[in-house]
Amino acid sequence: MTRFRWREQLERAATAHPVSGEDGWRRSLLVALPFAILAFVLGAILDPLSGQRTRLDEVAYPLLALGLTAFELTLLLRRDRTSLVVFGIITASSTYFLTKFVYVLFLVPPGTSMQAEMTETFFWVPALYVLSFFVPDVRSGRTVAYVFFGTTLLLSAAYVVTSWGPHLNYGVVFALSQYNLANLTLLALTGAFIGFKERVVRAEARAETMQHLAFTDLLTELPNRLQFNQSLERALEEAAHSNRRLAVLFVDVDGFKLINDTLGHEAGDELLGVLAERFRTFGTGGAMTARISGDEFVVVLSDLGREEAVRAARMLLRQLCAPLVLRGAVMNITASVGISVFPEDGQDAGTLLRHADVAMYQVKSTGKNGVRPYTPDVDAEVERRKLLERDLQNALGYGEFHLEYQGVYDLCDGRLVKVEALLRWRHPQLGLVSPAQFIPLAESSGAIVPIGTWVLREACAQLRRWHQRTGQVFRLAVNVAPLQVAQPDFVNMVEAALADAGVPADQLELELTEGAVLGNFGAVQQTLCALQRLGVTLAIDDFGTGYSSLSYLRDLPISTIKIDRSFVRDLGSPRRTPQYALALIEAILTIAQTLDLEVVAEGIETHAQLAMVRALGCQLGQGFYFARPMPPHELEAHIQPVR
């Protein structure tokens, strides 16, 4: 909705009349009209004394004086009638001049000097052109001026044609030719000047509008990042010169993407508009506020140290987070605020803004809806996280991902039952990055969808190569994120990956977390049932961590549950083993036996842990005791049977 607003503003600037000082013209006319009124009053008095009295002037001069007086009073009493008055003056004047022109050429009594009458009356014609072309919002007056000039030209030609002969008055012909040529020159110059002036003023208006667009956020009408950076640099120069402090508050709206996704982008725009008003209210005390990106705002406060800035930020947060009505519903929003202070936290605008951003990011990572000043000890950690977020977007295209594989074994005979594909990321600067760090980032940014598609295709292709080389048949387990399962084409994508690799569907197992299953149960149920019909088996990963409802095991086509490694970790040391862990594993095994589900114990690292899960009745196991995750070419050579 907002991306076309800049065009609307530009079009308004381009089509607006270049002259906007209508009130200035009103004042000018209030001064000038009395002189015109005086001229016609003097004409009514002195014309008879000059010996050139005509019946037309006898009637016209008093009427024109009265008419102009009425226009003067209208201008004095009604500010909004300037354009109407000007059009009235133009129309009345042109009517009089044309009437006088016809009278002089065709009806003047014998003995009257036609040249004198023309000289007496028509030197007022330039005033008609001035009013027609220069006064704003009276473009129709130009039409009247052109009609007037064209008519006088035709009347002049008619006079010459009808009077042609030996008695033709060449003095009148000369006066007519001079009059029309002067009018033509005046019209041409006036039109050219007005056209030039309109182009210049329109260009200035367009440049002013473009400058406004370049420095202003169109949605909120707050300064944008460019204007903010320039203003902050100036504020820092002044603060350094006067030995004052400045506080930079970096504000990010929590959950703004969710509002856009659930209520629509128009609702998100409305929310930003409301927040902008609240920022403006907060900024009435001299704060400088800008919107620098989608849901990120920055506020600069003068003469505040760290403690005062924290108090001001909490006041701002309370003001921003007051309940609001959006699309007929009352909403409660929250925000995260990071603070940096000049000169302690930075000497330039870029450093202060980055440090405030770092502090805000720390608020986000520790629960959101809070205020935090910048501290150097968290800078490295947050900068690393932000670097990962940025580089994650291009890691797939740069070929930085690879897969390692870890076997799942039958705990009775040590036979390899299936292999789990595990995603790894080798960052060009940071080296190998833990999945615990980059997987959540991929999920929150949406990058997990293309990455997950690549993992599935690559793992299926590798499974096919193993089958061809070894002749052994085992299942492949691939983890899928909630966002992947939510994609409408997820089932089609899985089917295409299997078909392209030439792998039967029953050799693929997809692992989901409990959170993915329960997040949108109805839609997930349909997707999982479609995968079951395809022949794919389904597993619940990290089972037992955080969810108490087990009814989904009955209602969903789950074939395997994997006991989280946290419950297996201390099984080899009975004295330290939490009793609830033993009880939970026993309960899981009982449920699995009732529902005919496979159970995999994750994280088996010692022989004692292996013996314990065997004794509890678990069929399958996975962990460092059997083999660590490894590249595909090492998998076959390193897998050893369980003793």
Q: Which of 507, 492, 498 minimizes the C-alpha distance to 537? A: 507
Distance CA 48, CA 180 (A): 28
Question: How large is the average pLDDT for residues 390-411?
Answer: 92
Question: How large is the average pLDDT for residues 193-213?
Answer: 66
Most confident of the ranges 341-350, 468-477, 500-509: 500-509
pLDDT band at 42 (very low <50, low <70, confident <90, very high): confident
Question: How large is the average pLDDT for residues 19-41?
Answer: 76
Q: Does domain 408-421+444-627 have CATH number 3.30.300.10?
A: no
Q: Which residues pair with 340 in a beta bridge?
A: 248
Q: What is the DSSP string of 287-334?
A: -EEEEEETTEEEEEEES--HHHHHHHHHHHHHHHTS-EEETTEEE---
Answer yes or no: are the C-beta atoms of 86 and 30 closer than 8 Å: no
> Does residue 19 surpass a pLDDT of 60?
no
Q: How far is CA 621 from CA 77, 93, 434, 457, 582, in A?
A: 96, 105, 23, 25, 16
Answer yes or no: are the C-beta atoms of 96 and 64 closer than 8 Å: yes
How high is the mean pLDDT of the chain?
Answer: 82
Q: How far is CA 348 from CA 236, 287, 597, in A?
A: 7, 18, 62
pTM for the structure as a whole: 0.53
Instruction: Kindly state the percentage of the chain with pLDDT values over 70.
Output: 84
- Within its chain, how far is the Cα of 271 from the centroid? 13
What is the number of H-type helices and E-type strands within the chain? 25, 16
pLDDT band at 403 (very low <50, low <70, confident <90, very high): very high
Give CA angle at 31 (26, 32), nearest 5°.
Answer: 95
Distance CA 467, CA 635 (A): 13
What is the model's pLDDT at position 567? 81
What is the model's pLDDT at position 524? 84
Span 287-309, pLDDT tens digits: 888 998 888 999 999 888 889 99
Q: Which residue intervals of 333-425 are DSSP H helices?
A: 349-365, 379-395
> Does residue 504 surpass a pLDDT of 90?
yes
Indicate the range of 90-94, 114-118, 381-385 predicted with least confidence: 114-118
> Does residue 548 surpass a pLDDT of 60?
no
> Does residue 52 surpass a pLDDT of 90?
no
> Does residue 546 surpass a pLDDT of 80?
no
Indicate the range of 147-161, 393-407, 489-503 predicted with least confidence: 147-161
> Does residue 533 surpass a pLDDT of 90?
yes
What is the model's pLDDT at position 215? 64
Answer yes or no: are the C-beta atoms of 283 and 289 closer than 8 Å: yes
Which long-range contacts (C-beta less than 8 Å, at least 24 apart) are formed by 628-633? 628/406, 629/404, 629/405, 629/406, 629/422, 629/424, 630/404, 630/405, 630/406, 631/402, 631/404, 631/405, 632/403, 632/404, 632/405, 632/462, 632/465, 632/466
- Within its chain, how far is the Cα of 414 from the centroid? 58
Question: How large is the average pLDDT for residues 441-446?
Answer: 86
For 110, left (φ over 0), alpha (ψ -120 to 50), or beta? beta
Span 113-131, pLDDT tens digits: 666 666 666 766 777 777 7
Q: Which of 320, 344, 319, 316 minimizes the C-alpha distance to 247? A: 344
Distance CA 592, CA 17 (A): 80
> Does residue 182 surpass a pLDDT of 80?
no
What is the model's pLDDT at position 57? 78
Question: How large is the average pLDDT for residues 386-410?
Answer: 91
Span 140-175, pLDDT tens digits: 777 877 888 888 888 888 888 887 877 777 777 777
Q: Does domain 225-374 have CATH number 3.30.70.270?
A: yes
Taking the domains of the chain in order of start, what are their residue ranges?
A: 2-211, 225-374, 408-421+444-627
What is the model's pLDDT at position 7? 44
Buried b (16+ CB within 10 A) or exposed e, 199-228: eeebeebeeebeebbebbbbbbebbbbebb
Answer yes or no: are the C-beta atoms of 641 and 610 closer than 8 Å: no
What is the model's pLDDT at position 202? 72
Instruction: Kindly state the percentage of the chain with pLDDT values over 90.
Output: 26
Which residue type does 61 have? Y
Beta strands 560-563; 537-543: pairing state: parallel
Indicate the range of 273-277, 323-327, 500-504 predicted with least confidence: 323-327
Distance CA 151, CA 102 (A): 10
> Does residue 640 surpass a pLDDT of 60?
no
Distance CA 195, CA 199 (A): 6
Distance CA 312, CA 329 (A): 29
